[in-house]
Amino acid sequence: MKLAKRLSEISASPTIAVMQEAQRLRKQGIDVIDFGPGEPDFPTPEPIKQAGVEAINANFTKYTASSGIVELRQAIADKYNREWGTDFTPANVVVSCGAKHAIYNVCMTVFEEGDEVLNPAPYWVTFPEVVKMTGARPVDVMTTEEEGFILKAATVEAAIGPKTKGLIVNTPNNPTGALIPGDEVARIAELGRHHNLFLLFDETYEYFTYGQTKHVSLASFVKATDDFYAIVGSASKTYSMTGWRIGYILGSKPLIDKIGEFQSHAAGNPTSISQKAALAAIQSDPSLVKAMQEEYCRRREYVLNAVSEIPGFSCPRPDGAFYVFPNVTGCLKASGIPDSQEFARFLIKEARVTTVPGSAFGMEGYIRISYATSMENLREGLGRIKAAVTKLVKH
C-alpha cells in the first residue's frame, strides 16, 4: 500500500523510542535506569486527582465544547492576566489534548507548503516533524554552548529569508534547560511584529527555573489582538499531569477561532474529566508547584556535580526545565565512538542506562539526561555511567 507523501520524511519520536527500549529490557528482567523521557516522577497532586474523581462522580463524562470548557479557558486567561498584565479572555484560549496536540494545531493552522519555519537547535524532537506534516520546511538555527544555548534575536534576524513564515521558540528549553532573558524575548517579539514573522512560543516548563533567573513570557510583549503569535502551555509538566493530556493555546481571537474549528474535526474535544482536573490545577495554591521545583533544583545540583566527574564530559549549567545536556565530544574522541547515537547505545549496553542522543535534538556531540526521576536512580545511574565511561576511555 502506498502511504501519504506527507509522512515520507516523518520519523518516530526518539524520546518515546528510548522509553520503549527501557521497558523492553525491563520485561527481560534487565535492571535499566531510564534518563530518557521528560516525565515528572511525582504523582499528580491530591487536590487535582480529587477534582477528576468528582467530575466522574458528577457524570461529567460527555462531550464538551471543542475548544474546552469556558471555566478552564477563563482560568487560563486569568492566570496570564495576573502574571503578565495581559487582557486575555476565554475567546483568546483554546484547550487541547496536551501541548504536543496544541503545537500541531497551531502549525496546521498557520504553516503550509512553500513556507519555511525557523527552528532553533537544539530543539525538542517533535518541532521539525510537525512542521514537515504541514508541508512547510523546518530550517535549523543553531545556538551555541558558549552562549548557554540562548536564542538571540540577532541570530534569528540573520536567518530570515524570503520564504520564512515563522519561528518556533521553546523557553525554558528542552533539551538544554536554556532560559531566554526577558530583554531578548522582547527583541524577538519585535522581530515578529516588524517582519511579519509568526512566533510559536512553547512555554511548557515556565515554572521550573532556578536561582535568580526567571522565565519571562512572550505574553509580556504582545496584545490579545496581535495576530503574529501563539503561546503554548501545558498542565503536564507543571502539575505532573502527563497522562491527563491537557495543553492550551493563547492568541488572537481570529487565530483561536480557526484553531478551534480545526480541532473540532481533528479531536472533538479535550477529555471532559481532565479539563476539570486541569481547572483545579490552574486555580491551585502555588505551593503545589513550589515543592516540585525545589526538589528539581536539588537534583540539578547533584547531577551537575556528578556529571563533572565523568571523563570526557562537560556540561553547561541549565537555568530551567529538568534536563542537563552534557557535551560528550571529549569522550567520543577518546573512545573512538563515532557519534552520540552510538554512544547512547553503548550506555544502554554497558551501563544499563538510557539517555537520548544529541543528534535527536539537532545537535551532535551531546546527550540529554533527564533528572525527573528519584535521587536514588540518579545516584545509581550516574555512577554506572561514570564506571562504564572510565573503563571505556582507559582502553
pLDDT at position 14 over 70: no
pLDDT at position 228 over 90: yes
Domains, the chain, ordered by start: 5-43+287-394 (3.90.1150.10), 46-282 (3.40.640.10)
Q: pLDDT tens digit string along 96-151?
A: 999 999 999 999 999 999 999 999 999 999 999 999 999 999 999 999 999 999 99
pTM: 0.95
Q: pLDDT tens digit string along 276-335?
A: 999 999 999 988 899 999 999 999 999 999 999 999 999 999 999 999 999 999 999 999
C-alpha cell at 125: 524532537
Burial track 277-291 (b if 16+ CB lie within 10 A, e otherwise): bbbbbbebeeebbee
| Dist CA 215 CA 86 (whole Å) | 16
- C-alpha gyration radius of the chain: 21
Q: pLDDT tens digit string along 345-361?
A: 999 999 999 999 999 99
Strands 198-202 and 247-250, bridge-based pairing: unpaired
Burial track 55-67 (b if 16+ CB lie within 10 A, e otherwise): beeeeeeeebbbb
Instruction: List C-alpha distances in Å: 287 to 232, 282, 294.
Output: 23, 12, 10
